[in-house]
Copies of this chain bind each other. A is one copy, B any other.
């Protein structure tokens, strides 16, 4: 954090000169609104306790300023004509910019299925948990080994991140695709690269899989980095990428008693043009009238997602949990024969980010 060099009042405003030569100015209402004293800001919940937006008259007249006693972040204390002494820590006067979390796009050749962590460590060691979640933030997925082969152990792991999302599929689902009883056509077919829950306003942020049993052939899993796909599109088909980012697409899910629907573009770009999240599921796309050129861009995106250069293939196996970023990484699986039991769950992106902040990788 930068150090304060000098503080003064000028025309009813606070002027702060910083050690690096920068100068910042702060108006009276902003100071009252950002006062960090215990009467204005709840010391535990950090909730604002005073309606500073409605103050008037002497409450908005600063009369004296001094550097506050205390450590480097003590900042300044400003006395107002109504008698209030506003405390403004340096971090409020000049907040550190929130750097976007570093994400590393990958191709199939860049990755392996080396686990980042072991279950028992994640359950008891916050530093191990932080490192594992940071790996997911960086490359979009990570494995855990040594997981007891049971839904309860999977749940215990995921609840270390936060509460599971409850959807129409329940919170922790546990699904047996058993040829003896199941519907072959539905449960054992190949599923191409896609993201889940395109039809939600806020699609599931993270998804976990744990294969609890497999006795058969086929069924390899796959992951594709949407960040790498987007980088390629940007290079190869910028106009198509623009269409995918600007064209609202209806997505839907239908079953008896349920009709979910969301309208959102395939690519969600930040104002700066970086990919925030993507929705990819051709099956769940509802009827609509795409603009000219949209089909070509969509088709190219789906073709890239099937291109071996992008597709990381691996095998889910009992004792190993996969957690991945469903806003960024597409998943799928090859067709299989035999018996397979899979459990899994969703976590909100909000919950994941909260846990990362609390564990010290503040963002």
Contact = CB atoms under 8 A, between A and B. Distances in A.
Nearest to A200: B350
A282 B349 contact: no
A109 interface: no
A168 interface: yes
A51 B259 contact: no
Interface stretch (A61-69, A225-233, A294-302, A318-326): A294-302
A252 interface: yes
A33 interface: yes
Nearest to A300: B53
A357 B282 CA distance: 22
Number of this chain's copies in the assembly equals: 2
A85 interface: no
Contacts of A92: 287
Interface in A56-107: 92, 95
Nearest to A54: B299
A302 B51 contact: yes
A167 interface: yes
Interface string A289-310: 1100001001100110000000
A167 B167 CA distance: 12
A357 B258 CA distance: 8
Interface in A91-135: 92, 95
A171 interface: yes
Contacts of A348: 200-201
A182 interface: no
Nearest to A284: B47
Nearest to A258: B354
Contacts of A30: 289-290, 295
Nearest to A46: B254
Contact of A350 (B33, B201, B350, B357): B201
A273 interface: no
Contacts of A262: 350
A358 B258 contact: yes
Interface string A344-363: 00001110011001100010
A347 B299 CA distance: 36
A285 interface: yes
Interface string A160-199: 0011111110110000000000000000000000000001
A201 B349 contact: yes
A280 to B, nearest CB: 12
A96 to B, nearest CB: 12
B299 A53 contact: yes
A295 B56 CA distance: 12
Contact of A49 (B259, B283, B354): B283
Contacts of A220: none
A100 to B, nearest CB: 13
9 contacts: A47-B283, A48-B285, A49-B283, A51-B282, A163-B167, A199-B350, A200-B348, A259-B354, A259-B362
Query: A-B pairs with the 4 shortest C-beta distances?
Result: A202-B202, A47-B283, A53-B299, A259-B357
Given A164-B166, A200-B348, 8 more contacts: A45-B255, A53-B295, A165-B166, A199-B350, A201-B202, A201-B349, A201-B350, A202-B202
